[in-house]
Amino acid sequence: MASGRWLSRWGVVLALALMLTSQAARAERVAVSALEGDKNNKLRAQVTGLLRKTRKVKVLPPAAWAMAAAKQKLRGPASVDPRAVARLAPKLKVDAVLTGSAGRTYSTFNARLLDETGREVWSGEFVLQRGLLPKYEAQKFTRAVLEAVKTSNQPAPEPPVAAQEAPKPPGPVVGATPEPQPAPVVEPPAPQPHAANQGEPEAMKPAPLMESAPPPAKGTASAPRAEATPPAPKPVLVPESKPEPVPAWEELDEESHTYLTELEGSGGGFPEEGGSASAAGRMPPRVKVQLGAAVTWRRYCARPGVMASCSEYDALPPEQQTGDISDFTSNAPYVGLAAEAEVFPLAHWPTLVRGVGLTLGYQRSFARTTVQVSTPVGETPEREVYATDTAYGAMLAWRYFFDLGTQETPLWGHAGVRLGARGREFDVGERMETPLPVVHRFYPAVGVDVSVPLMRAVRIEGSGQFFFQPTPGQSLWGDPDGSLVAEVRDYGDSVSSLGWAAELGVAGDLWGPFGYSVRFRLESYKDRFTGQGSRRGWTDGGVAEESYSSILGGITAAW
């Protein structure tokens, strides 16, 4: 007897434990869908991590819900439509779906919790800071969601017993049994004393409902079968409701709810489509390279005795225009190659540090050009020389990235500053008997740049730079033969220079990572010489002006 009680007690404990664990396991399965307006899925990753850290709910990776919805060709708000939730939730074996949207200014988060039928069981609004929940809002959000999940998964109260039991028609055995006899629990046989009560079965008249067979003889073996299945009221036939027109649902297979394992507490999720490549496509590119052609026109002039510009000297009377002057114009453009690279290794970080990067550029053009030196006694004959124009630079950059597109089609733009060093060198490949306007410059520079996307194929780009002391006679490669010193001593003892550049163009994406870029660039330099120069007439310095007009175009690739 004691062992029986012990076994019965353990049986009750095990049954209670199984009931509680099965109910808790069922109530703790939650899926987090894509949140509308959540750029780069940062908010969804935070929400997933907050719920997982509680260890009170089992949160499916976002990829599970998105993969099942994508199989039905449902994306965005359509993936959390009540009909979609009612169809997908049983397949994924989840009891609740957390969804919501971020405000236009990313200052509020409107969260909603849907049960497995798609019915909204809870909603709340929370404050965001920089697109994420602050600490105090995160705690409030977590408590609210856990309470809503617990409440929505509580079993409904059972209806009263009277409402549960359907009315049973009176039977001959149940209605009048003078003395109960031991009988089976399910189907008690009709006791013999009723054989004499002929009136009660006739009063009910159950036989007319059974047209296929006559009423069995009283007291026979078949009588209990008729009493065990008494005629019920005529059932009400409810026609099967036709499903509302919905998109052509594709049947989910048995493993459509499987997904990759995600580290607990990571707070992140897997991309909805296309794996990590798709996620990277919704972030600013880390690397961008451009390879194309450069077409450049150069202009140079040098005038003694004036400090404003070459036009000031040209406006003087002829008798005051003394000394050697130089004019250089390109009768044909310099054509060559141009290559650029932008590297932002932290571009996928969620903080402003992601804007730190490096920009590199190199350009080299060639042309046959004409040189003519004018003196008060006359002009030298025009002579064609082989000239090269080289430009290069390396600059540290910081950019603020912004997205003007949608989650499916991001349109990344930026605005930022640059600081680094640049060089510009114009040289000839032949020795001349008269000096040539050859200039080598290497200088620090600072600039700003901006890129505003209008659509995927059109983006407006512009930049401006200011050069600090881009004096001639300087080169990154040094002056091994001492020839660069003449670029200053021919005109004076010392020189002070200023320079600037402006750039404007269009760019866009063509196919995949490849795109195009076309820009116009203008560079201008002004050199003011002081002191005695080696050229005739340059006794008190002078001025020199140099400008480059370039068209840069090519193919870009970004990753």
Q: Is the pLDDT of residue 382 over 70?
A: yes
DSSP, res 377: T
Q: Which of 87-99 are b and which e, b meaning 16 or more Cβ less than 10 Å from the residue's Cβ? A: bbbeebebbbbbb
Tell me which CATH code domain 2-152 carries: 3.40.50
Structure tokens at 63: 């990829």
Q: How far is CA 213 from the centre of its chain?
A: 74
- For residue 224, which of 180, 191, 175 has the smallest C-alpha distance? 191
Residue 260 pLDDT class (50, 70, 90 cuts): very low
Structure tokens at 502: 């402006």
Pairwise pLDDT comparison (243 vs 407), residue with the higher score? 407
Strands 287-304 and 325-329: antiparallel
Q: Is the pLDDT of residue 543 over 90?
A: yes
Please report the pLDDT score of residue 87 as a whole number: 86
Please report the pLDDT score of residue 255 as a whole number: 45
Cβ pair 88, 118 in contact under 8 A: no
Q: Report d(CA 383, CA 368) in Å as an integer.
A: 10
pTM for this structure? 0.55
Please report the pLDDT score of residue 257 as a whole number: 46
pLDDT tens for 470-512 read 999 999 988 888 888 889 999 999 999 999 999 999 999 999 8
DSSP-based three-state secondary structure for 414: strand
Please report the pLDDT score of residue 179 as a whole number: 52
Q: Report d(CA 544, CA 526) in Å as an integer.
A: 6
> Helices H, strands E: what count in the chain?
12, 17
Domain extents for the chain?
2-152, 283-558
Q: What is the 3-state composition of the chain as percent helix, strand, coil, each rounded to the nearest 5?
A: 25, 35, 40
pLDDT tens for 315-369 read 999 888 888 898 888 778 899 999 999 999 999 887 889 999 999 999 999 987 6
Q: Is the pLDDT of residue 269 over 60?
A: no
Mean pLDDT of the chain: 78
Strands in 353-411 per DSSP E? 356-375, 378-379, 383-403
Please report the pLDDT score of residue 430 as a whole number: 63
Compute how many other C-beta atoms are within 10 angstroms of the C-beta atom of residue 31.
28
Q: Is the pLDDT of residue 225 over 50?
A: no
Q: Report d(CA 74, CA 205) in Å as an integer.
A: 59
Q: Report d(CA 371, CA 384) in Å as an integer.
A: 6
pLDDT tens for 75-116 read 878 888 888 888 888 888 888 888 988 876 667 888 998 988
Please report the pLDDT score of residue 454 as a whole number: 95
Top-tier CATH class for 283-558: mainly beta
